[in-house]
Amino acid sequence: MSNKGRVVIISGPSGSGKTTLHKRLLDSPRLKGILVKSVSATTRARRPGEKHGRDYLFLTPAVFKYKIRRGHFLEWQKVFGNHYGTPKRQVLTLLNKGAHVLLCIDVKGAAAVRKEFPGALNIFIKTPSMKALRDRLTKRASETREALAARLRVARAELKEAVHYDHVVVNGRLDHAVRRLERIVLNEH
């Protein structure tokens, strides 16, 4: 695929803080007009404050399945019981406009996008330690003990995938991680 813009993938285990970093990058004045968001589709329930079309396209499982069959997604995955997918047409349209398109997706989804876009910029986010990851996951009120154990198990496996990425950013101090990510994207621009 030849496009003007570039796909920028942010990935990492659940609890790495990648969603927060992704939001900070999209709000960054230094990246305004350079980096745009890909809005994913999901079957999970909307959380308070989330908006359809801005945070996600919130779809029913039936509609999501229909879109899978129609080849609507660049990649899709089941992540902790819900389906998530990257709409293909949206990404291609943005790339053709010359934008760098930011995807914040799980590790398996990232591997699938890398196959389709070998020129993608791949950034892996991780916490300074497993203890920091456990602490972050524990703070999430929605996690049961079983869910926490499952996420830690998955995270251990996902950390091994970091070798396939162009950059690994340790998310210790949030501001430092944001600056580092801004520099990475600007250097590639």
Question: b or e along 17-33 (b: 16 or more beta carbons within 10 Å of the residue's beta carbon)?
Answer: bbeebbebbeebeebee
- Rounded least distance, CB 62 to ligand 5GP, Å: 18
Site of interaction with ligand 5GP (CB under 6 A) = 14, 40, 44, 75, 77, 79, 84-86, 104-106, 109
* Interatomic CA distance for residues 170 and 128, integer angstroms: 6
Of residues 61 and 189, the one with the C-beta less far from ligand 5GP:
61
- Rounded least distance, CB 12 to ligand 5GP, Å: 8
What lies within 8 Å, CB to CB, of 25 at 6+ separation is 10, 31, 35, 102, 178, 181, 182, 185
Tokens 């972050």, residue located: 136
- Rounded least distance, CB 40 to ligand 5GP, Å: 3
Of residues 5 and 85, the one with the C-beta less far from ligand 5GP:
85
- What single letter denotes the amino acid at residue 109? G
- Rounded least distance, CB 44 to ligand 5GP, Å: 5
Of residues 164 and 189, the one with the C-beta less far from ligand 5GP:
164
Q: Closest residue (Cβ) to ligand 5GP?
A: 109
